[in-house]
Amino acid sequence: MYLLIPAAGSGKRMGANCNKLLLKVHSQSIIAWTLLAAEAASQIRWIGIISQPSEWHDFKAIVAGLAMTKPVEFIPGGTTRQESVYNGLQALPSEAKEVLIHDGARCLATPELFNACAIAILNCPGLIAAVPVKDTIKVVGESGIIESTPKREKLWAAQTPQGFNVQLLKQCHAEGVRQGWEVTDDAALFEKCGIQVRIVPGEETNLKVTTPQDLAIAELILSLR
Ligand code: C5P
């Protein structure tokens, strides 16, 4: 299975003055933990890291230090996650029929989750790892007044890995560019194009490291493993 890792964000919400994926959790950077999980997932055979060329020097040094056995390619990032994934899709080897996309910031996803997604995507056009939400979710208007309360039983928190048929995902991204759709994950493009995306059970610990608090939680979770 081919794996694309969007890793070209700026880390603004982390308040860091560098890409947050270069920050350390215990002994390793966030991106290193993500790569170690991908390396340990037997179903993954090729990894594309999408990041800003100005940071390739740092990313390449990290990859060299991990002694990866799988091929790792570097792909230039875009100004949004959507653009970064678009670039990644263009860089996939032509024989790639399915692809997993996994945010570099989700450094706690296990090899088992990668493998489960890699196997499941062979039998459907699109999937995402997701967990049922625990909170009651409110839709809130600009004035700060609640507009509605969706039924919690129907609400799931989207994670990555997300898996897709490559040809369909390329078509959905192209349609997204034509229509000017702005989305925060790739499943949303499938949904907008009317293509079914199924849920694979995600992991409660598979958090996206976004804020300094998330870094502390990630440290705790890794120390318990
Ligand atoms: O900013 P956020 O945490 O939502 O980004 C999700 C993932 O997308 C991160 O791994 C980040 O590095 C990546 N990203 C990207 N290109 C961008 C913005 C974000 O690859 N322009």
pLDDT tens, residue by residue, 51-60: 999 999 999 9
208 lines ligand 1 (CB under 6 A): yes
Q: With bands split at pLDDT 50, 70 and 90, how would you rate the model's confidence at 30?
A: very high
Mean of pLDDT values over 122-146? 97
Quick one: which of 161, 66, 151 has its CA closest to 107? 161
79 lines ligand 1 (CB under 6 A): yes
Which is the closest atom of ligand 1 to the Cα of 50?
A: 20
pLDDT higher than 90, residue 10: no
Percent of the chain past pLDDT 90, that is, above it, reads 94
pLDDT higher than 90, residue 169: yes
Mean of pLDDT values over 117-142? 98
Neighbours of 120 (CB within 10 A): 17
Cα separation, 72 vs 4, whole angstroms: 10
The helix (H) or strand (E) run that includes residue 29 is strand 28-29
Mean of pLDDT values over 146-152? 97
The helix (H) or strand (E) run that includes residue 50 is strand 46-51
Mean of pLDDT values over 183-205? 98
Quick one: which of 3, 176, 33 has its CA closest to 102? 3
Q: What residue type is 157 in one-letter code?
A: A
> Would you call the peptide bond into 161 cis, given omega within 30 degrees of 0 as the criterion?
yes
**Model ipTM?**
0.97
20 lines ligand 1 (CB under 6 A): no
pLDDT higher than 90, residue 15: no
Q: Record the pTM.
A: 0.97
Nearest alpha carbon, ligand 1 atom 1 = 9
pLDDT higher than 90, residue 12: no
Percent of the chain past pLDDT 70, that is, above it, reads 100
Rounded mean pLDDT of the chain? 96
By three-state DSSP, how is residue 201 classified? strand
Token pair 């208007």 in the structure block, residue = 141
pLDDT higher than 90, residue 176: yes
Cα separation, 220 vs 225, whole angstroms: 9
Between residues 12 and 106, the one the model is more confident about: 106
Complete domains list, the chain, with CATH: 1-222 (3.90.550.10)
Residues in contact with 209: Cβ distance below 8 Å, sequence separation at least 6, in sequence order = 14, 20, 25, 30, 105, 106, 107, 215, 218
pLDDT value at position 42?
A: 98
Which is the closest atom of ligand 1 to the Cα of 20?
A: 12
81 lines ligand 1 (CB under 6 A): yes
Which is the closest atom of ligand 1 to the Cα of 105?
A: 10
